[in-house]
């Protein structure tokens, strides 16, 4: 088990730039934003500076840190259009050691506007390249889609963390996501790794949750984090106070779980310092992933770059 206090936190020799983690699953409501906000806060509490990027037009991560998205000046939208504007958009110290690159409703327009833009899938990467030396981690909260914004997240990222809700249909759509990740890796970002698969909204009392967890672990094996995020009212309440869980209820099971997740993530990184890791699945999933899905190759705007197959 990873206790919230385990590990020594950050190594003294900070790398040249942040490790960028995209929190991604095109399925809606699986805990991406809750995980992005609270994992970012948990990592920041361990001492290194962290940047949270809200790459979703819903701007829930921005709201979750108490920022009124209607009163924003610049947001990640401006940074996508003009990398240098990232500085202007940054909101400093929204929580301990935690900065925010806020999202805004304008991002919905970017989804359309970027389609024909030059270097369209590397816009976020370029903007982050201007600021991420300041940080130990950048956590990118992706929208529930596999459009150009999420593509920007995956191209900018070093790794992807996939939250999976411990409910029926947990793995529905997961093959599309994996296919997208593999395409991005082939065509645009060969260094993209899997940070891990995270079970969220887990109810210990429910047999169903245990069955789903078993299925997810059967499918993804050791890539599933040992840490599981419990279903917790406190986690659901915290955003309405505009605070990460640690400031809302630091004693809650949710706070402890996200602290443990940060510890586990850091411990895993120490064990597996570098190198591209393929997404391995055992393929032992019992449900019919293939049945409804094999015809749906991701309709992503991945350009036909050299090396891209099909
Ligand atoms: N562990 C949890 N326990 C209880 N409620 C949770 C938990 N995690 C998330 N929630 C709640 O579930 C809902 C969806 O969570 P969240 O917004 O994090 O998902 P999401 O994947 O970001 O959604 P979207 O796809 O719309 O971006 C929210 O109301 C959130 O407060
Ligand atoms: Mg979200």
Sorted by where each starts, the structural domains of the chain and their CATH numbers stand as: 19-273 (3.40.50.300)
Q: What secondary structure does DSSP assign to 234-256, as a single string?
A: HHHHGGGGTS-HHHH-TTSHHHH
What does pLDDT average to over the chain? 85
Residue 69: other Cβ atoms inside 10 A? 18
Choice from 170, 172, 202, 236 to test ligand 1 binding pocket (greatest atom count within 8 A of CB): 236
Q: Tell which atom from ligand 1 comes closest to the C-alpha of 257.
A: 1
Distance CA 59, CA 55 (A): 7
Could you tell me which residues come within 8 angstroms of residue 272 by beta carbon, excluding any fewer than 6 positions away? none
Ligand 1 binding site (Cβ under 6 Å of any ligand atom): 28-34, 56, 58, 60, 144, 200-201, 229, 231-232, 235-236, 254
Rounded distance from Cα 239 to ligand 1 centre (Å): 10
Rounded distance from Cα 65 to ligand 2 centre (Å): 13
Distance CA 102, CA 71 (A): 11
What are the tens digits of pLDDT across the range 26-57? 999 999 999 999 999 999 999 899 999 999 99
Distance CA 49, CA 68 (A): 23
Instruction: Report which protein residue has its CA nearest ligand 1's atom 25.
Output: 28
Q: Tell which atom from ligand 1 comes closest to the C-alpha of 142.
A: 27
Task: Could you list the beta-strand ranges (E) of the chain.
Answer: 19-23, 50-55, 91-95, 98-101, 137-142, 159-165, 193-200
Between residues 14 and 256, which one has the greater pLDDT?
Answer: 256
What are the tens digits of pLDDT across the range 95-138? 999 999 999 999 999 989 998 999 999 999 999 999 999 999 99
Rounded distance from Cα 29 to ligand 2 centre (Å): 7
Rounded distance from Cα 198 to ligand 2 centre (Å): 15
């Amino acid at each position: 088990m990873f206790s919230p206090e385990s590990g020594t936190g950050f190594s003294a020799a900070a790398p040249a730039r942040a490790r960028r983690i995209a929190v991604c699953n095109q399925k809606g409501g699986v805990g991406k934003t809750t995980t992005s906000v609270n994992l970012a806060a948990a990592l920041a509490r361990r001492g290194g500076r962290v940047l949270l990027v809200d790459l979703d037009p819903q701007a829930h991560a921005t709201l979750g840190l108490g920022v009124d998205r209607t009163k924003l000046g610049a947001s990640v939208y401006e940074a996508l259009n003009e990398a240098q504007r990232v500085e202007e958009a940054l909101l400093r110290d929204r929580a301990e050691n935690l900065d925010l690159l806020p999202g805004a409703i304008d991002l919905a327009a970017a989804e359309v506007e970027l389609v024909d833009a030059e270097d369209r899938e590397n816009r976020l990467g370029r903007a982050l390249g201007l600021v991420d030396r300041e940080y130990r981690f950048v956590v990118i909260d992706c929208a529930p889609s596999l459009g150009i914004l999420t593509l920007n997240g995956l191209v900018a990222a070093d790794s992807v963390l996939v939250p999976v809700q411990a409910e029926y249909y947990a793995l529905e759509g997961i093959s599309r996501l994996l296919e997208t990740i593999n395409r991005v890796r082939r065509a645009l970002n060969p260094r993209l790794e899997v940070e891990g698969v995270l079970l969220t909204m887990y109810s210990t009392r429910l047999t169903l949750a245990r069955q789903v967890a078993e299925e997810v672990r059967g499918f993804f094996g050791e890539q599933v984090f040992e840490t599981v995020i419990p279903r917790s009212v406190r986690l659901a309440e915290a955003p309405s106070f505009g605070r990460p869980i640690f400031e809302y209820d630091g004693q809650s099971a949710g706070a402890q779980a996200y602290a443990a997740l940060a510890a586990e993530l850091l411990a895993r990184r120490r064990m597996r310092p570098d190198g591209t890791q393929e997404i391995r699945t055992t393929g032992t999933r019992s449900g019919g992933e293939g049945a409804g899905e094999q015809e749906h190759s991701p309709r992503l705007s991945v350009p036909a770059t050299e090396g891209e197959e099909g």
